[in-house]
Structure 1
């Protein structure tokens, strides 16, 4: 069955990083997948009145912002088309539009039609992070978060953050296309962050993956004084991992979404590609 991937690209107020096109096409190529590139341009409605038009020329400013968003979206699609042609990846593309408050929701809704969603990432860019969170927690699909300012390379050493939880199990199942193509799989359990269901949770997963013909080994680490997200990323990079697989944990408090410690840490300081499932 053909694997379908989608790259979701908001263009307002901040576009993703310059490497997102090449990275997304490279991942689709590694998976033997098709790629659907979706730009989501802003559509700010004209809510001006005579007074605001007189002082600020608000309608003109709105037209300017909307046009800049569309131009950015076109440039992104053009760059992806060039990369897809170079790597011979089957590409489709579309341009959607949404009001500012609904850009993330639009991305998540579109992502539901694909096997893997991809989103770009930029450090200290709140709008990019908000879209990524929305896709992770609302699309119902695994979401690959790609650093936006560096090449990701071949994702052949997969590091699984494992604690025996439901969301971790969901992430492992969703990571199957990556696990089947990996040369190394490291299962990492943080032992001093919370009570684990069993001491051997990592070994049990390693045995299960090995029974499926996948090369897996289990490791235990201590977070110590580090935040758990930082500890996981530090360890993954220390063992030359190039993809971190983990469950995305969070729950809703009225309208705010409260993230779990590991999820918050990863989304605050992303240093390698992360496949996150909820």
Structure 2
């Protein structure tokens, strides 16, 4: 069965940068997946005639904002098309539009029909942060976050952030297609951050993976009271992992995000490609 990956593209107010298309095609080639690029455009409704009398040029400003969003969408879709052609990745492009508060919800709903979701994360683009949160917690599908300053390397070495929890187990299951292709798997367990369900859950997972024929080894790491997200990412990078797999802690209710510490840290400071599942 051929995998399918969705690439939702923010077009308003700040469009994603062109490198998102390049990174997504690199990962799609590694997944041997068909890439579906979706421009999620803004559709700002017109204000009422009564209100527009008090707001100078409001109808024209709204028309220009909607047109700018569509132009941004077409620009990034052209970039993705060129990158996919160069990489030999099969590509399907599409466009959709909705009101600003529902952009992330629309992307999350579309994502439910795909095996993976690829999201380009940019530190200075809050729209990409919001999109990532909406899709992670609303789609039920695994999301691979792609940082702006790191070109994805081969996912030959995959690190797993493991604490024995339900969401961590879900992430490992969702990452199975990637784990089966990896030549090395490192299970990372932070042992000084919270109570764990057993003495060495990382070692237990590594044994289970090896029994399935996967090349896994476990490492206990210490945060030293620092940021758990930084600890996990730094250990993954130091060990030359190309991808970190982790569970997403938290939930969302009408844009009120309550995130676990590691999840919040990842979404604030992304240092390598991360597959995150909720």
TM-score of the two chains, using structure 2 as the length reference: 0.96
Alpha-carbon distance in 2 for matches of 1:86, 1:180: 26
Alpha-carbon distance in 1 for matches of 2:277, 2:34: 20
- Is the 8 Å Cα contact of residues 18 and 149 (structure 1) preserved in structure 2? no
- Is the 8 Å Cα contact of residues 20 and 148 (structure 2) preserved in structure 1? yes
Alpha-carbon distance in 2 for matches of 1:114, 1:216: 27
**Structure 1, residues 79-136: CA drift from partner, whole Å, max 9, x if none?**
1111111111111110000100000000000000000011111103322101101100
**Structure 1, residues 215-240: CA drift from partner, whole Å, max 9, x if none?**
11100011013111111111111111
Partner of 1:181: 181
Cα RMSD, aligned residues only = 1.5
Segments of 5+ residues of structure 2 without an aligned counterpart are none
Q: How does 1:143-154 map to 2 (within 5 A)?
A: 143-154=143-154
Alpha-carbon distance in 2 for matches of 1:107, 1:254: 15
Partner of 1:22: 22
Alpha-carbon distance in 2 for matches of 1:274, 1:246: 7
Per-residue deviation, 1:168: 0.1
Partner of 2:34: 34
- Is the 8 Å Cα contact of residues 251 and 257 (structure 1) preserved in structure 2? yes
- Is the 8 Å Cα contact of residues 19 and 148 (structure 1) preserved in structure 2? yes
Answering whether residue 268 of structure 2 is matched by residue 274 of structure 1, we say no
Partner of 1:231: 231
Partner of 2:106: 106
Alpha-carbon distance in 2 for matches of 1:96, 1:255: 21
**Structure 1, residues 126-160: CA drift from partner, whole Å, max 9, x if none?**
22101101100110100001112441122221110
Alpha-carbon distance in 2 for matches of 1:159, 1:6: 23
- Is the 8 Å Cα contact of residues 150 and 272 (structure 2) preserved in structure 1? no
- Is the 8 Å Cα contact of residues 25 and 89 (structure 1) preserved in structure 2? yes
Per-residue deviation, 1:51: 5.7
Partner of 1:47: 47
- Is the 8 Å Cα contact of residues 227 and 265 (structure 1) preserved in structure 2? yes
- Is the 8 Å Cα contact of residues 17 and 149 (structure 1) preserved in structure 2? no
- Is the 8 Å Cα contact of residues 36 and 91 (structure 1) preserved in structure 2? yes
**Structure 1, residues 152-186: CA drift from partner, whole Å, max 9, x if none?**
12222111000000000000000112111212111
TM-score of the two chains, using structure 1 as the length reference: 0.96
The number of equivalent residue pairs is 278
Alpha-carbon distance in 2 for matches of 1:193, 1:55: 53
Q: Structure 1 residues 19 and 149, CA, compared in 2 at 3 Å: closer, same or farther?
A: farther
Partner of 2:69: 69
Partner of 1:216: 216
**Structure 1, residues 32-81: CA drift from partner, whole Å, max 9, x if none?**
11111111000000014356356520111111111111011001111111
Alpha-carbon distance in 1 for matches of 2:27, 2:253: 35
- What SS does the aligned partner of 1:56 have? coil
Partner of 2:88: 88
Segments of 5+ residues of structure 1 without an aligned counterpart are none
Moved >6 Å (runs of 4+): none
**Structure 1, residues 183-228: CA drift from partner, whole Å, max 9, x if none?**
2111000001110011121111111111111111100011013111
- Is the 8 Å Cα contact of residues 118 and 144 (structure 2) preserved in structure 1? yes
Answering whether residue 172 of structure 2 is matched by residue 172 of structure 1, we say yes
